[in-house]
Amino acid sequence: MTEPTKFTLTEDRIPTHWVNLLPDLPGEPLPPLNPGTMQPAGPDDLTPIFPMALIGQEVSTDPVVEIPDAVREVYKLWRPTPLFRAHRLERELDTPARIYYKYEGVSPAGSHKPNSAVAQAYANKEAGVERLVTETGAGQWGSALALASSLFGLECLVYMVGASYDQKPYRRAMMESWGATVIRSPSDTTESGRSQAAHPTGSLGIAISEAVEVAANDAGTNYALGSVLNHVCLHQTVIGQEALAQMEMAGDEPDVVVGCVGGGSNFAGMTFPFIRRVLGGEARTRFVAAEPAACPTLTRGVYHYDFGDTVGLTPLMPMYTLGHDFVPPPVHAGGLRYHGDSPIVCALVKEGLVEARAYRQNETFEAALRFARTEAILPAPEPAHAIRAVIEEAEAAKQAGEQRVILLNLCGHGHFDMSAYEAYLAGKLEDPEFSEADMQAALERLPDAPAIA
Ligand SMILES: Cc1ncc(COP(=O)(O)O)c(C=O)c1O
């Protein structure tokens, strides 16, 4: 009998709860800080831009949080997502490793991002909000929020990072098709945007400043963030819970789980349910986070309180940061161009539970094409970083003669990233790296916030 390629679950197996890893972490969680006072930020600091339901999820210490029925109903449009065994890639690599990948690209927007967008749009609709405003790097989050807003009857305004706006015109058309308004960032529609006109390629940090400014100044508009925050990581844990059940169907236990990290949400979503088992002494899984050498927050950043945005409007979070006003070079993995990361993911790296690795642009596209030419799916440039790490793991297993089981979160497809593939195939992609001088400049720009022990 041949071994199966695909492991699928029926709709009734869509998780009923999200997994909250906050209570599992050792020690007291470090609070966010108010940007004005540098004192711990409370719910009042967040109510101008977020609904109470999401603030409650942000600070919840319950081990699980129930998923509202209306959100599970929408999840049925594409969840549960399939888990594949990468037989062809294994053969190409001639490795004894068994490689599995969970494919989030089957969502209508093409990535994992709608898992949180739907939950956020629902919570805002319930709170009587009329419009959501956000930023988007790769265009995946903006598409996801445009989709979710249209499903719940909300208006949607998206500040799209300049470099991505130019590289991915069809992402913009997709958002507009779902009824959103899209503005290139930095723009002249906000004070924050006008102050950053010297950085025409933009950055996630700048686009966040623009979106937060709009939300803070308009009572009917709330802000929605596509990554980093605890509640966003929480929403994504449907991925890992399904993967746990699917790995059980496959009769395998992952030795290593791999994902890419921009702000940390797809990585969190896949790994948190597995990490809970490790912290509970039930498993000994390793976790690998892959990021770009051009924006290496986890491998090179400083563990320090920093703003979530460029201009300094958001609360400060404890995280590995390259400095809130660092503008990463315009690499094609636009979703990974963020100066910081989820505080929970950072704490896991700090504790040594997660290993981080940084890759240059060309080596990630080489890995993506190897994947596309064996497994057929054309990955987004972001998970191409994780695929690179998977190939390294599979090659190491071969060297060691080990039957290692590798699980990858393939968090999105690259159908709107063809200009990046075109540039790679034409040999035109550059390999920018974060330099020592960048590092020194980052250290000088850190806010005057309490040091983290
Ligand atoms: C396909 C894809 N993967 C990964 C990311 C990075 O975000 P996160 O680290 O929150 O998953 C993005 C962000 O836009 C994305 O579009």
Report the residue among 107, 111, 342 best suited for mutation to probe ligand 1: largest number of ligand atoms under 8 A from its CB: 111
Ligand 1 mean position to 184 CA, how many Å? 19
Of ligand 1's listed atoms, the one at least distance from the Cα of 412 is: 1
Residue 83 has a pLDDT of 99
pLDDT tens, N- to C-terminus, the chain (453 residues): 589 999 999 999 999 999 999 999 988 889 999 999 999 998 889 999 999 999 999 999 999 999 999 999 999 999 999 999 999 999 999 999 999 999 999 999 999 999 999 999 999 999 999 999 999 988 999 999 999 999 999 999 999 999 999 989 999 999 999 999 999 999 999 999 999 999 999 999 999 999 999 999 999 999 999 999 999 999 999 999 999 999 999 999 999 999 999 999 999 999 999 999 999 999 999 999 999 999 999 999 999 999 999 999 999 999 999 999 898 888 888 889 899 999 999 999 999 999 999 999 999 999 999 999 999 999 999 999 999 999 999 999 999 999 999 999 999 999 999 999 999 999 999 999 998 898 888 888 899 988 887
Closest residue CA from atom 5 of ligand 1: 335
Ligand 1 center–CA 401 separation, angstroms: 33
Comma-separated ranges of CATH 3.40.50.1100 domains in the chain: 44-68+113-231, 78-110+233-445
The correct answer on CATH 3.40.50.1100 for the domain covering 78-110+233-445 is yes
Amino acid of residue 114: P
| Per-residue exposure over 398-419, b if at least 16 CB sit within 10 Å of its own CB, e if not | eeeeeebbbbbbbbbbbebbee
Whose CA is closest to atom 4 on ligand 1? 382
pLDDT given at position 1: 57
Mutate to test the pocket of ligand 1, among 295, 411, 415 (most ligand atoms within 8 A of CB): 411
Query: Is-above-0.85 flag for pTM?
Result: yes
**Which residue of 168, 231, 235, 336 sits with most ligand 1 atoms within 8 Å of its CB, as the best mutation to test the pocket?**
336
Dihedral angle sign, alpha carbons of residues 339, 343, 348, 350: positive
Predicted pLDDT of residue 389: 99
Give the residue, out of 112, 167, 228, 295, with the most ligand 1 atoms within 8 A of its beta carbon, to mutate for a pocket test. Answer: 112
Token pair listed for 83: 């888990």
What is the whole-number distance in angstroms between the Cα of residue 411 and the centre of ligand 1? 7
Residue with CA closest to ligand 1 atom 13: 335
How many angstroms separate the alpha carbon of residue 39 from the centre of ligand 1?
A: 30
Per-residue DSSP letter, 301: -
Rounded distance from Cα 336 to ligand 1 centre (Å): 6
Would you state the pLDDT for residue 44?
A: 87
- Determine the Cα–Cα distance for residues 234 and 136; give it in Å rounded to an integer: 20
Nearest CA owner, ligand 1 atom 16:
140
Give the residue whose CA is nearest to atom 3 of ligand 1: 382
CATH number, domain 44-68+113-231: 3.40.50.1100
Which of 266, 337, 378, 388 to probe ligand 1 with, by most ligand atoms within 8 A of CB?
266
Q: How far apart are CA 190 and CA 203, in angstroms?
A: 15
Q: How many Å lie between the centroid of ligand 1 and the Cα of residue 2?
A: 34
- The closest-lying atom of ligand 1 relative to the alpha carbon of residue 136 is 14
Residues within 6 Å of ligand 1 by CB: 111, 137-138, 140-141, 227, 260-267, 335-336, 380, 382-383, 411-412
Residue nearest to atom 6 of ligand 1 (CA): 262
